[in-house]
Amino acid sequence: MKLISTSIGYPYIGKNREWKRYLEGYWNNRISEDEFRQEMKRMRLGNLKHQQALGLDFVTVVGDFTFYDRMLDLATMFGMVPNRYEYAGGSVNLSTYFAMARGAKGVVACEMTKWFNTNYHYIVPEYEGESLQLTNNYLLDYFTEAKEELGLITKPTIIGPFTFVKLTKGYDSKTIAEFLLKLMPLYIKTFRQLCDAGAEWIQVEEPALVLSLTNDEVQLVKEIYRQFSEQLPSARIMLQTYFEGLFAYEELSNLPVAGLGLDFVHGEEENMASLQMHGFPADKVLGIGIINGRDIWRANLAEKTSKVEAIMAICSANEVWIQSSCSLQHVPVTKQSENKLESTLKEALSFADEKIIELSQLTSYISDKHWSGNKCVSESMTAIEALALDKARKNKQVEDLISQLGPAHFKRPMIYSNRRQLQQKVLQLPDYPTTTIGSFPQSAEVKKIRKAWRNNEITTPEYKQFLRNETARWIEIQEDIGLDVLVHGEFERTDMVEFFGEKLEGFAFTDNGWVVSYGSRCVKPPIIYGDVEWTVEMTVEEVVEAQKLTNKHVKGMLTGPVTILNWSFTRDDIAREQVAKQIALALRQEVKALEEAGISIIQVDEPALREGLPLRKEKWDSYLTWAVDTFKLTTSVVKNQTQIHTHMCYCEFNDFIEPIRALDADVLSIETSRSHGELIQSLKHNRYDLGIGLGVYDIHSPRVPSVEEITSILHDSKAVIAKDQFWVNPDCGLKTRKEEETVASLQNMVQAAKRLRENKQQTVN
């Protein structure tokens, strides 16, 4: 049996986030389009050479690189550009491409949402019934580039047609056939051009095949791949799935493709059961996704070897690819530059480069019964065992707190309708109160001063005085704008998860462990490696100082336990539920400290609540039960008159309203600006009885919405939200925006809210 090591995809941001710098340099006119394209090419080729040097047998060429987002790449390659961008056909230029991603003057961006259950956000393609065309086969360009300049015959990768259709908006059951009739010839033409250029394999990524599919959808998939087989008899397609087990395995494993990639990390149990029951087609290559592409922990190579050999023993494939469970874009590039981590922890880590080395080592051993490298099996086991014995994982105080939890810790003593009346009397807020989600722009000066403090170039008192001055300035700005509930601005926070992790026990932080969240927005997820414990107040000082500067209420701002969990790289030796409870208990103490300090409104953000869901609905209940409980464990400690807010991002409201309601938060703000009309329709059919603020403008775009635009959105929202529930806010935090954009947008938002109040008074009169 032939074995080959390969990867589904590699991080495209560069070891030092070079990609981000070039992208933002182009947006800010610091480099020309030609310079931008040249730097992108240099990075693409550099990534290919680097993966080959690490020992991969087969290197992926595209799918691990994009100018912004791969779904957007496909949409523009097929000429799927909404009418509002005034696209006239042909190759889509960069200004239109980035306008679709970020918006532009006078035109809103396309919707953005989470890529399955990850923290990566993709641009949602919009189909408007237009004629589609192959505008530019960028996959062919990249394949040819690698062939001519590096002498590499690479493996092009593309998001498959079923997944692309599943994630596109603008069609319904009546028009899906029309959509596919236009789309399939373009895929076929793309693949034919790649084959003609010498591509030996084409990787077609179909993560949507792990979802719960209807019989009609299964038949649709079969028809798609039947057409590929008939039209492209010489093309060797590796059909790649990931994130869970393949649905309808018996039927879909027999599609007419040359290879099938399965996830044996997150889909291990189901995929193993399918193999045992149905076997594996002898005429196909099996891709074994065995190294976890979504966490940062070193693989136990002996254990992984046993699993691969068990899989090979029950399948009859003549060729096997040993690969990551999914693209490595979800992990940092390398741990080699991490020089400040404690040695026990660093030895137990594995980022993208290290995972590629693990793939090579596994493939080498299973092929030759000989380990390449120096004692790699024993070294991996020693590193894993050393971390397991670390004192950070033996915290008796945390263990005792968990054991003392009872039902009363998970609910507030008074129902919402009664709390609302009490809070209205205490808070004295106007109708349609205005607020923001929490953060304000972090200017170059803020970042400079913070860096100087971290580098010991200024003292802590000097740093704190700067933060106080910046907070005071923004309190004054908010009062001038006329906002009703203020925030302190979060100028001390680098990241909404990292900030809290730095103050809690059990967390560690990298210097360069960046991953992409959306566009050029990169984050450094903390590493939860030990028991989580609260030891010191984290936010009280800043919020209380801000509250002293104004007679209006200032919100306390915390990140919720499930979001901290889902936006961190989490230990894998205990259940995620247990880690979430530890975080919730720590945050519960902070919530209590804020309330005792006189803060009457406390926001506990859970933008990643939905992100942790299993991909199939039938598996949701267990996760939702403990996820909701951990939020309530955090917030139920307060008095009835203290108002609890929460915030969520890009949430499919229709199928998620019951868990949101179960949180029992007094006010929910939800990120909806790019899909506002859809949420309005959802609320018409799914009444929501607690306080709610629908995001009235898109903070991911630099454009300033007009008063009329926001007023229109508010009037639409009035149809589904009662006056005493209705809050007015942007759709997310404002940290990444510029000050002039932020002030202008909020002024227009407050003016629109005033119009709403005036209209209500005129109606009453």
As annotated, the binding site includes 17-20, 114, 119, 437-439, 490, 521-522, 567, 605, 611, 647, 649, 671, 732
The length of the chain, given as a count of residues: 765
- Cα(184)–Cα(78) distance, rounded to whole angstroms? 10
Tell me if 475 sits within 8 A of 504, measured CB to CB: no
User: Measured between alpha carbons, how far is 605 from 615 in angstroms, rounded to an integer?
Assistant: 22
**Which residues are CB-contacts of 112 (< 8 A; sequence separation ≥ 6)?**
121, 122, 123, 124, 518, 650, 674, 700
Distance CA(463)–CA(492), nearest Å, equals: 9
Least Cα distance to 356 among 66, 571, 47 occurs for 47
Tokens at 637, concatenated: 């400690």
Rounding to the nearest 10 degrees, give the CA dihedral for residues 700, 624, 575, 556.
Answer: 50
Task: Please state, in angstroms and as integers, the Cα–Cα distance from residue 697 to each residue in 108, 379, 556, 676, following that order.
Answer: 10, 52, 23, 9
In the DSSP assignment, the letter for residue 393 is: G
Look up residue 585 and give its two tokens.
């208990």
State the binding site for L-methionine: 437-439, 490, 605
Q: Which of 226, 115, 206 lies closest to 159 in space, CA to CA?
A: 206
Best CA proximity match to 357, nearest among 320, 427, 304, 279: 304
Q: Helix, strand, or coil here: 31?
A: coil
Round to whole Å and give the CA distance between 211 and 228: 22
Mapped onto helix, strand or coil, the DSSP state of residue 691 is strand
| Nearest residue to 2 via CA among 286, 409, 248 | 286
Other CB atoms closer than 10 Å to residue 403's CB: what's the count?
7
CA distance 358 to 325: 13
Helix axes 540-547, 460-481, angle to 10 degrees: 50
Q: What are the E-state strand segments in 73-165? A: 112-114, 121-123, 157-159
d(CA 650, CA 613): 14
Half-sphere exposure (Cβ direction) of 571: Cα atoms closer than 13 Å: 24
Helices (H) and strands (E) in the chain, counts: 27, 20
Annotated binding residues for Zn(2+), as ranges? 647, 649, 671, 732
Tell me, what amino acid is at 568?
Answer: S
Among candidate residues 295, 337, 343, 301, the one with its CA nearest the CA of residue 322: 301
Is 552 exposed, middle or buried, given 0-12, 13-18 or 19+ CB atoms closer than 10 A? Answer: middle
Annotated binding site for L-homocysteine: 437-439, 490, 605
Per the listing, tokens 């100082």 go with 545
C-alpha angle 359-360-362 in degrees, rounded to nearest 5: 65
Nearest-5° Cα angle at 152, 149 to 157: 110
Helix (H) or strand (E) run with residue 261 in it: strand 259-263
- Among all residues, which ones are annotated catalytic? 700
DSSP letter assigned to residue 130: P
